[in-house]
């Protein structure tokens, strides 16, 4: 990113190179961060967030799971997300709010660590290149998703994505665009960073959120769009072999949007082209941003007229601590 780019960090808009954290940050050592990924689309009425309030709601829910005090209200985070896009004069963007335990002691249990909040806005095109139009080649990974009651899958936490990195690196090393993970029960789970859908005999099938998948906001959008299009839906456990029986398969997520899968383990899905159900859902989804699909759910939030962040915000949860203040406890625990 350009040095002129601005990042919202603990209540202030800062140049890219000045938004720094201390090397003792708890998140660096133990993965204690929660985050969101949000898309801003260029629409005929200007730049608009897709489901901003829902992303912020999940950010706070994830923080609550890990007892992280965000230190700001949801309304302040929404306003800050909008203001950083506006400050960078971006017609479209990928926005990353992240809340993390910062400088302080090095114990596994954080006792004196600050809590930092940052929001980045980056230009971001199609996550899987031309796969949105032509389909992606994926594999079933040798890595499983964690078992239930280990890592909370509903929380979008930084540490969870170490597993995703293993899945994605293995897939790319073997020549695939992405990997699909199974759960510890051998049933289909999700991609490295995407939820999974199959079309079987005209029915849209997806693993349930009780299977330990992320409660994806794009996933929820697909389910609602399917209902509007009268596409029948089934949320149920799905065995691996269904990938080879399915007429269509696609992945979805904020970064991936709706990405068709044309082959799994070098076996073509259906006839190897984007199927009609996937295409209809893509058209409805992307139609939200060019006016073809009515936003009956109120999913779009304008970037314009966003208030700038309050520079005098009373920071909580250790915001504004110096590294020296935050490092008053240096107890190291196994």
Q: What is the pTM of this model?
A: 0.90
CATH number for the domain spanning 246: value is 3.20.10.10
Which H or E element spans position 56? helix 52-65
- Asked whether residue 282 is domain-assigned, the answer is no
Query: At a CB cut-off of 8 Å and minimum separation 6, what does 271 contact?
Result: none
In a domain, 118, yes or no: yes
Place of tokens 């929380």: 155
Average pLDDT on 45-68 reads 98
Note whether 166 and 90 are same-domain residues: no
Whether the pLDDT of residue 2 is over 90: the answer is no
Instruction: Flag whether 290 is in a domain.
Output: no
Domain extent for 98: 6-125+298-326
pLDDT 10s digits, 200-252: 999 999 999 999 999 999 999 999 999 999 999 999 999 999 999 999 999 99
**Domain for residue 333, yes or no?**
no
Looking at the structure, tell me whether residues 141 and 269 fall in a common domain. yes
Q: Same domain for 83 and 179?
A: no
Q: Is residue 213 situated within a structural domain? A: yes
Residues 6+ apart with CB under 8 A from 70: 59, 60, 63, 77, 99, 115, 117, 317
- We report the CATH number of the domain holding residue 15 as 3.30.470.10
pLDDT in tens, 246-275: 999 999 999 999 999 999 999 999 999 999
**pLDDT at site 277:** 98
Q: Is 77 part of a structural domain of the chain?
A: yes
Annotated active-site positions, please? 156
In a domain, 320, yes or no: yes
């Amino acid at each position: 990113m350009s040095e002129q780019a601005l990042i919202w960090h603990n209540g202030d808009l800062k140049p890219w190179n000045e938004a720094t954290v201390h090397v003792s940050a708890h998140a660096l050592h133990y993965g204690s961060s929660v985050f969101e990924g949000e898309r801003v689309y260029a629409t005929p009425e200007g730049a608009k967030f897709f489901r901003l309030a829902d992303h912020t709601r999940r950010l706070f829910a994830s923080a609550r799971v890990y007892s992280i005090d965000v230190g700001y209200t949801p309304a302040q985070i929404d306003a800050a997300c909008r203001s950083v896009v506006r400050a960078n004069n971006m017609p479209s963007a990928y926005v990353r709010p992240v809340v993390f335990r910062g400088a302080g002691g090095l114990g596994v249990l954080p006792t004196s660590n600050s809590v930092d909040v940052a929001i980045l806005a980056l230009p971001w095109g199609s996550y899987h290149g031309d796969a949105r139009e032509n389909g992606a080649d994926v594999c079933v990974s040798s890595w499983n998703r964690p078992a239930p009651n280990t890592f909370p899958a509903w929380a979008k936490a930084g540490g969870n994505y170490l597993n995703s990195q293993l899945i994605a690196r293995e897939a790319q090393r073997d020549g695939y665009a992405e990997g699909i993970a199974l759960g510890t029960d051998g049933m289909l789970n999700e991609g490295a960073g995407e939820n999974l859908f199959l079309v079987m005999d005209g029915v849209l099938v997806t693993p349930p959120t009780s299977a330990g998948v992320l409660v994806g906001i794009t996933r929820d959008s697909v389910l609602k769009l399917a209902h509007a299009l009268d596409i029948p839906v089934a949320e149920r456990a799905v065995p691996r072999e269904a990938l080879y029986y399915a007429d269509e398969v696609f992945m979805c997520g904020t970064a991936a949007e709706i990405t068709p899968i044309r082959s799994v383990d070098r076996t073509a899905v259906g006839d190897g082209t984007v199927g009609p159900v996937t295409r209809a859902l893509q058209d409805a989804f992307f139609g939200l941003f060019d006016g073809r699909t009515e936003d009956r759910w109120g999913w779009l939030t304008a970037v314009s007229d966003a208030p700038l962040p309050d520079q005098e915000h009373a920071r909580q949860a250790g915001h504004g601590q110096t590294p020296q203040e935050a490092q008053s406890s240096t107890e190291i625990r196994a």
